[in-house]
Amino acid sequence: MQIKQNISLKPYNTFGVDVKTKFFSEYNSVEELKILLQNDTVRNNRLLHIGGGSNLLFLTDFDGIILHSKINTIDIVEQDMFSVLLRVGSGVTWDDFVAYCVKKNYYGIENLSLIPGEVGASAVQNIGAYGVEVKDVIEKVEFIEIESIKFNSFSNKECRYSYRKSIFKEKFKGKTIITHVYFRLKKEPTYVLDYAHLKEAVLKNGEINLTNVRKTVIEIRESKLPDPKKLGNAGSFFMNPIIPKSQFDELSLSYPSMPHYPVSESEVKVPAGWLIEQCDLKGKRFEKVAIYEKQALVIVNLGGATGENIATVASLVQITVKKRFGIDLVPEVNFID
Ligand code: EPU
């Protein structure tokens, strides 16, 4: 649990931006984290806690301390014939956890296969894909309050989850460090296959079972999303905007083919990727940065881009979409200056 100095953050952000942090430390347990939080270097510097770095855009060198969890345990807390409750360390790689559940025949997160990042961040971000959000299976979240170094936990309800949102991103932003997440998974076959053509795609791989759902989701993601190891990116750069139904009705007069998903009686979610593609930005290159050619919601580092280069392109996308559709795109990626 050493505090290192002047560390490159290139391996810790999936955009592959080459910046440094003044201080950096990792811990293996809640006890180690508590000790770290009492340390003067931690208390007297700006603190940022990172996960897999798959949702971060560093604009410049970080003048503070970055912490990273290596709490890597998966424990069964309780189980019966129908379900299992798992307590999972925040530092477990998300997709390793999905692979573990699929192997054990635990149902619920197979649609979230291959999402980059770690378990702790999954509960902050409420990660989601192919009709499933992680909030659907989270029962409880344990965390340390940074200021008081006190251990606390929230039930699913207290986490105030909604699309890509939680209390950890809003009221408690920067105030807590998640140490463990409790997941309730089913032991009886239960699938969510109504997203687009997911069911047909699974059937092409054989019968409907956990292994085939995972395999299919991985195939779909690999065909649409760039591998961060080869091409720096952070998945979806923007959230899909939720707009008033009245605005959608007006827009659909000019754009009758606009894809949309009802969110409530008065709100509609529109895919940001579609809006960006309509603006002819898909596949466009701006020196070291590009809008990914297979999924317009993804911005890629073609090699050697700075955080500022990427932010400039993101801002151009926002301005263009706003001008054409009157819709504000909100980044899903966190900008760190
Ligand atoms: N679309 C386009 N052009 C594009 C991309 C998308 O027209 O370049 C349209 C498609 O035609 C489709 C719709 O947008 O009708 C939805 O596309 P897709 O299924 O690819 O999903 P998405 O809304 O773009 C969201 C998540 C992804 C997740 C997929 C699958 C957000 C911000 N993103 O993307 O999550 O994998 O659904 O469920 O909600 C991530 O968060 O990093 C991520 C990849």
In tens, the pLDDT along 50-75 reads: 999 999 999 999 999 999 999 999 99
Q: Which of 179, 214, 185, 187 is nearest to 88 (CA)?
A: 179
For the chain, the average pLDDT equals: 97
Cα angle vertex 304, ends 229, 24, to 5°? 70
Pocket probe for ligand 1: among 57, 242, 274, the residue whose CB has the most ligand atoms within 8 Å is 274
What separation in Å is there between the alpha carbon of 32 and the centre of ligand 1?
39
Task: Kindly write down the DSSP assignment for every residue of 21-58, as one continuous string.
Answer: EEEEEEESSHHHHHHHHHSHHHHTS-EEEESSSTTEEE
pLDDT for 107 beyond 90: yes
Q: Which residue's alpha carbon is at the smallest distance from atom 33 of ligand 1? A: 236
Q: Is 261 exposed, middle or buried (0-12, 13-18, 19+ CB in 10 A)?
A: exposed
Q: Which residue's alpha carbon is at the smallest distance from atom 41 of ligand 1? A: 236
What separation in Å is there between the alpha carbon of 199 and the centre of ligand 1?
17
Helix ranges, the chain (H): 30-38, 40-43, 94-104, 119-125, 198-204, 210-224, 245-254, 272-278, 307-325
Atom of ligand 1 nearest to the CA of 221: 36
Q: What is the pLDDT of residues 153-190, one digit of tens each?
A: 999 999 999 999 999 999 999 999 999 999 999 999 99
The per-residue pLDDT for 9 is 97
Q: Which residue's alpha carbon is at the smallest distance from atom 7 of ligand 1? A: 274
Q: Which residue's alpha carbon is at the smallest distance from atom 15 of ligand 1? A: 259
Q: Judge whether 236 counts as a catalytic residue.
A: yes
Pocket, ligand 1, Cβ cutoff 6 A: 129-130, 196, 224-225, 235-236, 239-240, 259, 271, 273-274, 277, 282, 295-297, 332
DSSP-derived secondary structure letter, 60: S
Q: What is the pLDDT of residues 112-150, one digit of tens each?
A: 999 999 999 999 999 999 999 999 999 999 999 999 999
Active-site pick, 43, 160, 164, 324: 164
Active-site pick, 25, 69, 166, 236: 236
The per-residue pLDDT for 148 is 97
Q: Which residue's alpha carbon is at the smallest distance from atom 30 of ligand 1? A: 129
Pocket probe for ligand 1: among 236, 281, 291, 321, the residue whose CB has the most ligand atoms within 8 Å is 236
Q: What is the pLDDT of residues 286-331, one digit of tens each?
A: 999 999 999 999 999 999 999 999 999 999 999 999 999 999 999 9
Q: Judge whether 69 counts as a catalytic residue.
A: no
Q: What is the pLDDT of residues 19-41, one digit of tens each?
A: 999 999 999 999 999 999 999 99
Q: Judge whether 164 counts as a catalytic residue.
A: yes
Active-site pick, 32, 219, 277, 332: 332
What separation in Å is there between the alpha carbon of 271 and the centre of ligand 1?
6
pLDDT for 1 beyond 90: no
| The residue to which tokens 């923007």 are assigned | 238
pLDDT for 196 beyond 90: no
Q: What is the pLDDT of residues 229-284, one digit of tens each?
A: 999 999 999 999 999 999 999 999 999 999 999 999 999 999 999 999 999 999 99
CA distance 104 to 95: 14
